Structure 1
Amino acid sequence: MAHYDLTISVALQWLGYKEDQIHLDWEKVKVPFRCRHVFPNRLEREAIILSFYAGILMNSLPVEEIFEIYDNRSSVKNWPGAKKIIFFEDRGFQGHCYECSSDHANLQSYFSRCNSIRVDSGCWMIYERTNYSGHQYYLRRGEYPDYQEWMGINDSIRSCRIIPYTGSHRMRLYEREDYKGQMMELTDDCSCVHDRFHLNEIYSLNVLDGCWILYEMPNYRGRQFLLRPGEYRRYLDWGAMNAKVGSLRRVIDIY
């Protein structure tokens, strides 16, 4: 992982390098013009780097999304590591705004209310209260011109968290606390837990791979809860007040 991070860092620095600086360095060492190599422009550098990582991308992205990266002339903001969310105080992306690119446990000092949001990249969980508490709302890349668009109950957003991307998803659901009773395994989205498993309540969970969003109601409606890899021996562990589980969705977007 350290080697991967270093490689990404070097690649981003190379993308930011200016061609005129290269020419200036050549002048310093007095290299004849005919001997100078042609330095690739930014678009060519992006193509080289994307080609280098093609194997990694092919293992983690649908082919259509890879083509989209090339078609849109990718820049740094399109890289898997770049995340950004913008909070607006008023509806329709108006009023004072605040940009965020990392987890933030307390947003109170940056805006007093939040009535619209634009997610430029990444998947996010936003929270009604500070320290990742209160009602939770799952946001993917897109525009949310009104808090009702993210199923909010009010205009209070006080903390946010980036949801990390993983290539695989797997969880086990149990009908009793402490992993007792019938066990069911899930590896894909489930729009109705009752239809698939004939249960309305799940008392414990074990998330083995990936991040998931749990909804109290079927068809991805109702109160939401972020499930990260780990053990949830009772519904209180994921922040719920009861064992109702209506649907479950994988977090699969990385932009």
Structure 2
Amino acid sequence: MSSPLTLETLKELLHKLFQIIFYEDRNFQGRHHECVSDCADLHPYFNRCNSIRVESGCFMVYERPHYLGHQYFLRRGEYSDNQRMIGINDCIRSCRMIPVHRGSYKIRLYERPDMSGQMQEVSDDCPNVQDRLRMSDINSCNVVDGHWLLYDQPNYRGRTYYLRPGEYRRYSDWGGASPRIGSLRRITDFN
């Protein structure tokens, strides 16, 4: 018979699976704050963020509270100078952990809002949406399985958008400034 799951046991498990530390200064100096789960508003914990250490798991960090603004995908590693290494300014205001997914991947892409118009189903990485799918504007989508990153340019470049399972009736639902998508990939590497 196994022992009951306590709050302390759950916290220890989260530390092993997901842990990100934000530092006010470069090279992991200054005031810092640690997260092991989603945080919609990081502003109370630090004024600026110039370096980040991801101890375990993968995270999306956002320039504005409540998961808004530019998004950046971070995997396990050290980011000693955010601006130089990954182009993030010092204004990180929210973060979201990306759950580990071990099953299949499937996303349905639609040319029009509200899941209408031409539909293409994708289950693997796509470095060039225009060449492969003959679509460049994606106005809505349905993430059936897995977690995905969309990029506004081909070859996984440009602005990044994180999509978890669910319906996105308009490109603004995933934070897009326009329906233009150049590439997309599955989030499969959690180390």
TM superposition score normalised by structure 2: 0.87
- Percent identity of paired positions between Structure 1 and Structure 2: 55
Q: Give SS of 1:190's match.
A: coil
Match for residue 139 of structure 1 among 66, 71, 74: 74
Q: Distance in 1 between matches of 2:164 and 2:146?
A: 7
Contact residue 108 and residue 158 of structure 1 kept, 8 A: yes
Partner of 1:112: 47
Aligned-partner residue type, residue 114 of structure 1:
C
**1:100-142: per-residue Cα shift (whole Å, max 9, x none)?**
1111111112111111111110110111111111111111111
Please identify which structure carries the higher strand content: 2
Structure 1 position 194, deviation (Å): 1.4
Aligned to 1:213: 149
One-letter code aligned to 1:134 = G
Residue 182 of structure 1 deviates from its aligned partner by: 2.1
1:121 aligned to 43, 48, 56, which one? 56
- Give 2:94's aligned residue: 159
Q: Find out whether 1:252 has 2:188 as its counterpart.
A: yes
- Kindly tell me the number of residue pairs found equivalent between the two proteins: 186
1:158-184 superposed Cα distances (whole Å, 9 cap, x missing partner) = 111111121221101112222222221
Q: Contact conserved, 1:175 with 1:181, CA < 8 A, in 2?
A: yes
User: Residue 91 of structure 1 aligns with which residue?
Assistant: 26
Q: Which moved more, 1:79-88 or 1:120-129?
A: 79-88
How do 1:1-255 and structure 2 match up within 5 A?
9=5, 82-148=17-83, 149-152=85-88, 154-167=89-102, 168-255=104-191
Larger helix percent: 1
| Structure 1 gap segments, 5+ residues each | 14-75
What is the SS of the residue equivalent to 1:143? Answer: strand
Q: 140-149 vs 118-127, which deviates more?
A: 140-149
Q: Deviations over 1:182-232 (max 9, x none)?
A: 221111111211121122211111100011111111122211111111111
Q: Of the two, which has the highest radius of gyration?
A: 1
Separation in 2 of the partners of 1:138 and 1:105?
Answer: 16
RCO comparison, higher one (Cα < 8 Å, 6+): 2
